[in-house]
Amino acid sequence: MTWHESNLGAVRAYEPLRRLWARQSVRWRATRFAPLSALALAWLILLLISALLDSLLSSPDAISMDLRARLRPPLLFGGNWAHILGTDDLGQDILARLLLSVRTSLLVALVGSGLGALLGTTLGFIAAHFRGWIEESVQMLVDLQAAMPFTIIALALLAFFGNSFGLFLVIMGIYGWERYARLARSLALSALGQGYTLAVRSYGAGFLRLYGRHVLPNVAGPLIVNMILNFSEVILLESALSFLGLGVQPPLSSLGTMVGYGRTYVTTAWWIAVIPGVVIVLTVLSLSILGDRMQDRLNPANRSCR
Amino acid sequence: MTGDPPNRLLLAAEQVTRIYRVGARALPFTSPPHVSAVQNVTLMLHAGERLGIVGESGSGKSTLGRLLMGFDQPTHGRVLYCGRDIREFSRTERFGFHRAVQMVFQDTHGALNPRLRIFDQVIEPLDVHRLGTRQQRRNRVHDLLSKVGLPAAIAERYPAELSGGQRQRVVIARALALAPKILICDEPTSAADVSVQAQIVNLLDDLAQSERLTLVLVSHSLAVVRHLCTRVAVMHSGCIVEEAPAEVLFHEPLHPYTRALLGASPALARRRRRSTPVQSCTAISSPSGIGCAYASACPDVAELCRSAAPNLIELVPAHHVACHKVTTGRRSEKRIEEDHAGIGA
């Protein structure tokens, strides 16, 4: 037996293994889920579940004041099991308030980014469809919006019209519309150059059918990514405005309100401000990680097989 | 749909010009640079006819197709369908126009929506026009697919799962869904390989007969046009330079550009012709904008060609040509003939 043959035997014995490995690695690559995005997803799911099950997890009296148990530190910092995350200056359980606040913040962010996506995408499609002066004016609005810091606009609106939860939601909804509009316009323009949209127009389909059924499903990827990234920005904006006292008003509470409220105690009872702050950071970070990952996955250049 | 008598004028372009702006203006209040993709084109399409529009890339043939479909509005002139300007159509008239005139797109330009099953794409025109019941539409889709030679199972697939030839057939099936009178085919075969090209050409040939279609074929392939068309218009720099019945045009081309084009097309088992390379002239209007657009590349250019644009003139019945050389030559021949006749009398 020559060296070659003996080697061949080894290769033959190895072959099924190699194939298995190849197949496994392909499968692994196809379904690979980076641990970081798994963690991010787990965190968001946890947040969502706790926001949804809020009413089950904590009874209304959980946020009742207990003046005998004021400023209790969290469990690992000298606290006890009665108040895992400690209490605030009125003796309210931080965990219970956190759950309520998460619900408000998520609701605001969800409605806000949903409204923004709807408004921006519609305007972008309209601009791409009608061209001419309509497009020009949409573009002008977009540029105007992009040139002004949104926090200032929001502050001005809230200060002028007075604070109401409805107005606050609308402001959150307007936030970021110009990016959707820009994106949707350019995506629609490229889709309108494709044969299928011409064909759809050639048999006289209307605006809704053309854009709802043909254009939108084909350009949804980048819009979804933008929505995820916008979602985290809305949470941040909401927190910022609430921190300044112009956002969500008591008795409602949001993550931003909690941070703002805890600010005065930050030297003596740091957990009141830090815990909701950590939740904000983790949530925004998770959303950004997932958004980036979606962007990579939806990019046709990175897509090996579909 | 079968009620039309043959030779009825269906679609006409009347002195149509389409000017596109290219880029921004150099200075305020100056006119921005522009291109006339189609220039003063008059074209008639009669029922039962198969018209081929040929020309090199950038000659404006596709733009002309789009103008005929109403996708694009002419800058000057008008497009008439059954004697009515298509821009002045009411909503219902426009719907009727959409039913009567359909377009076959080139598959490579994404003619099918990648996110929808074939069935949903072929049935959509019927849905939009609310033709028949749900069941009738369903049956119609299967009829159409079998008409273009596709198995019914393909209806459940997505475009990415089909071959290029199959996709082109689906595009044709979708265009036929509304039983149009006129089918405008924009380069239906240019992306396919030769065997698929032949299949598609034969399919269009059969369908045009069985469905009594009036065909407009926009193509740069002279072979395809020769095989399918009864009449051919040759475009150059946005103008029609010659228009004649297919047989006549391929045997007795008059315009020097047509001759160059025919000489440049490869052919087997034909005597090698004297072939002058076709000088490409894109549609950018000459600085002066006067004179014949082909003058700079024409082998027999004369002084007149550079100073005045030739008009499309019907030299022989049904044979139009836009060339000073040819028309003056013919005129002088005619004059000589007349002189002879005069002498004889």
Instruction: List pLDDT tens digits, range B106-136.
Output: 766 688 888 888 999 999 999 999 888 999 9
Average pLDDT over residues B193-204: 87
Measured CA to CA in angstroms, residue B264 lies from A189, B56, B121, B244, B272 at distances of: 37, 11, 39, 19, 11
Pairing of strands B84-85, B76-81: antiparallel
- Cα–Cα dist B77/B142, whole Å: 41
Residues in chain A within 8 Å Cβ distance of B129: 203-204
- Cα–Cα dist A254/A103, whole Å: 8
- Cα–Cα dist B236/B258, whole Å: 9
- Cα–Cα dist B107/B123, whole Å: 18
DSSP H/E element including B15:
strand B9-21
Coil, strand or helix at A190: helix
**Partner residue opposite A204 with nearest CB, options B95, B105, B116:** B95
Measured CA to CA in angstroms, residue B161 lies from A36, B121, B292 at distances of: 35, 14, 49
- Cα–Cα dist B202/B174, whole Å: 18
Consecutive 10-residue averages of pLDDT for chain A (306 residues): 52 59 50 74 87 66 66 71 72 80 85 90 93 90 89 86 84 88 93 88 87 88 84 83 80 81 82 86 87 71 46
CA A213 vs. chain centroid, Å, equals 25
- Cα–Cα dist B155/B171, whole Å: 13
Residue B331: inside a domain, yes or no? no
Range of the domain at B202: 9-265
Number of residues in chain A? 306
Residues in chain A within 8 Å Cβ distance of B115: 217-218
Is the model's pLDDT at B283 over the cut of 80?
no
- Cα–Cα dist A81/A142, whole Å: 52
Q: What is the pLDDT of residue B106?
A: 77
pLDDT-wise least confident of A207-211, B158-162, B191-195: B191-195
Residue B281: inside a domain, yes or no? no
* DSSP 8-state code for residue B276: P
The pair of three-digit structure tokens given for residue A116, joined into one six-digit string? 């923004």
Q: What is the pLDDT of residue B126?
A: 92
> CB distance A198–B107 less than 8 Å?
no
Is the model's pLDDT at B265 over the cut of 80?
no
Q: What is the pLDDT of residue A32?
A: 55
Instruction: Give the distance from residue A218's alpha carbon to the nearest chain B alpha carbon, in angstroms.
Output: 7
Q: Who contacts B64 (Cβ-Cβ below 8 Å, separation ≥6)?
A: B13, B16, B38, B41, B43, B53, B218, B235
| φ, ψ at B184 (rounded to 5°) | -100, 115
Specify the number of domains making up chain B. 1
Residue B336: inside a domain, yes or no? no
Size of interface A-B (CB pairs under 8 A): 61
CB B111 within 8 Å of CB B167: yes
Residue B50: inside a domain, yes or no? yes
The pair of three-digit structure tokens given for residue B11, joined into one six-digit string? 């679609």
Q: What is the pLDDT of residue B102?
A: 92
- Cα–Cα dist B157/B159, whole Å: 7
Instruction: Say if A22 is an interface residue toward chain B (CB within 8 Å).
Output: no
Residues in chain B within 8 Å Cβ distance of A209: 128
Average pLDDT over residues B62-68: 89
Residues in chain B within 8 Å Cβ distance of A202: 69, 71, 98, 102-103
Q: What is the pLDDT of residues B4-22, one digit of tens each?
A: 566 788 899 989 999 888 7
Q: What is the pLDDT of residue B286?
A: 47
Residue B316: inside a domain, yes or no? no
- Cα–Cα dist B173/B139, whole Å: 13
CB B228 within 8 Å of CB B54: no
**Partner residue opposite B128 with nearest CB, options A194, A195, A209:** A209
- Cα–Cα dist B325/B214, whole Å: 34
Q: What is the pLDDT of residue A16?
A: 60
Residue B81: inside a domain, yes or no? yes
The pair of three-digit structure tokens given for residue B341, joined into one six-digit string? 């006749």
- Cα–Cα dist A115/A108, whole Å: 10
Longest dimension (CA), chain A: 93
Q: What is the pLDDT of residue A303?
A: 45
Measured CA to CA in angstroms, residue B123 lies from A199, A203, B77, B117, B173 at distances of: 13, 11, 35, 10, 10
Q: Among candidates B71, B70, B93, B74, which has minimal Cα distance to B11?
A: B70
Q: What is the pLDDT of residue A180?
A: 92
Average pLDDT over residues B225-248: 90
CA B312 vs. chain centroid, Å, equals 17
**Partner residue opposite A194 with nearest CB, options B69, B110, B177:** B110
Which CATH number is B155's domain given?
3.40.50.300
Sheet holding B34-46, edge to edge: B34-46, B9-21, B76-81, B84-85
- Cα–Cα dist A251/A64, whole Å: 12
Q: What is the pLDDT of residue B138?
A: 92
On average, the pLDDT of chain B sits at 83
**Partner residue opposite A196 with nearest CB, options B110, B177, B178:** B110
Listed in sequence order, the DSSP H helices in B216-277 are: 222-228, 246-251, 256-264
Pick the residue from chain B with its C-alpha nearest to A217. B115
* DSSP 8-state code for residue B30: S
- Cα–Cα dist B56/B138, whole Å: 41
Q: Among candidates B20, B16, B59, which has minimal Cα distance to B282?
A: B59
| φ, ψ at B182 (rounded to 5°) | -120, 135
Instruction: Give the distance from residue A59's alpha carbon to the nearest chain B alpha carbon, in angstroms.
Output: 47
> CB distance A196–B95 less than 8 Å?
no
Pairing of strands B182-186, B9-21: unpaired
Q: Please give the radius of gyration of chain B, using alpha carbons only, rounded to the nearest integer.
A: 22
Instruction: Say if A216 is an interface residue toward chain B (CB within 8 Å).
Output: no
CA A298 vs. chain centroid, Å, equals 17
pLDDT-wise least confident of A154-158, A202-206, B70-74, B299-303: B299-303
Q: Tell me whether residue B131 is exposed, middle or buried, using C-beta atoms within 10 angstroms of its C-beta: 0 to 12, 13 to 18, 19 or more.
A: middle
- Cα–Cα dist B299/B276, whole Å: 9
Placement of tokens 């002139």 in the chain: B77
Residue B342: inside a domain, yes or no? no
Pick the residue from chain A with its C-alpha nearest to B178. A203
- Cα–Cα dist A62/A92, whole Å: 7
Angle, alpha carbons A26-A28-A34 (nearest 5°): 135
Instruction: Say if A213 is an interface residue toward chain B (CB within 8 Å).
Output: yes
**What number is the ipTM of this complex?**
0.79
- Cα–Cα dist A295/B1, whole Å: 50
Residue B103: inside a domain, yes or no? yes
| Helix/strand/coil percent split, chain A, to 5 | 80, 0, 20
Q: Who contacts B269 (Cβ-Cβ below 8 Å, separation ≥6)?
A: none
